[in-house]
Amino acid sequence: MDSFFDSLPIMESHYCRAKTQKKYLLPEWKTKQSLYKFYQDDRCKSRDVRPLSIATFYEAFDAKNLGLYFPRKDQCKKCSLFKVGNLSAEEYSEHQQKKEEARIEKDKDKNEGKIVFTVDMQAVVMTPKSKLSSL
């Protein structure tokens, strides 16, 4: 069972990392039920194994700390590029550093009682076939 979940393509949270340890699946599966169906059809039938019950499957899914819906704000072009090897380690490390600095600044403002408002200006919809040409 673990090997099935481990084989699924996941995206780790980027902007949400401080708040969540959840790992999000690519939005290929909109519901747990559709993931279960994929498990039955793709995994079990091809290996001629009897599938687990849907309840056991859901339990295992939750135990793995997986999530179905990938928050829109989690998409980051630079991180995605680094993942597929299209961004140098230097640029990535600089990017990570800037991100950390921004987070510290935001926390500082918050702690000073300022109202902090952040907006993600670009919604990138992630699909297994990315439309990001640079990938």
For residue 113, how far is the Cα from the chain centroid? Answer: 31
Q: If binding means CB under 5 A, how many residues of this protein chain bind Zn ion? A: 3
Q: How far is the CB of 96 from Zn ion (least distance, A)?
A: 7
Nearest to 82 by CA among 16, 132, 9, 27: 132
Q: Which of 78, 83, 92, 124 binds Zn ion (CB under 5 A)?
A: 78
C-alpha to C-alpha distance for 120 and 102, rounded to whole angstroms: 14
If binding is defined by CB under 5 A, does position 87 make contact with Zn ion? Answer: no
Nearest CB to Zn ion, comparing residues 38 and 92: 92
Name the residue whose CB lies closest to Zn ion: 76
Nearest CB to Zn ion, comparing residues 10 and 76: 76
C-alpha to C-alpha distance for 69 and 25, rounded to whole angstroms: 7
If binding is defined by CB under 5 A, does position 79 make contact with Zn ion? Answer: yes
CA angle 26, 6, 91 (to 5 degrees): 60
Residues that bind Zn ion (CB under 5 A): 76, 78-79
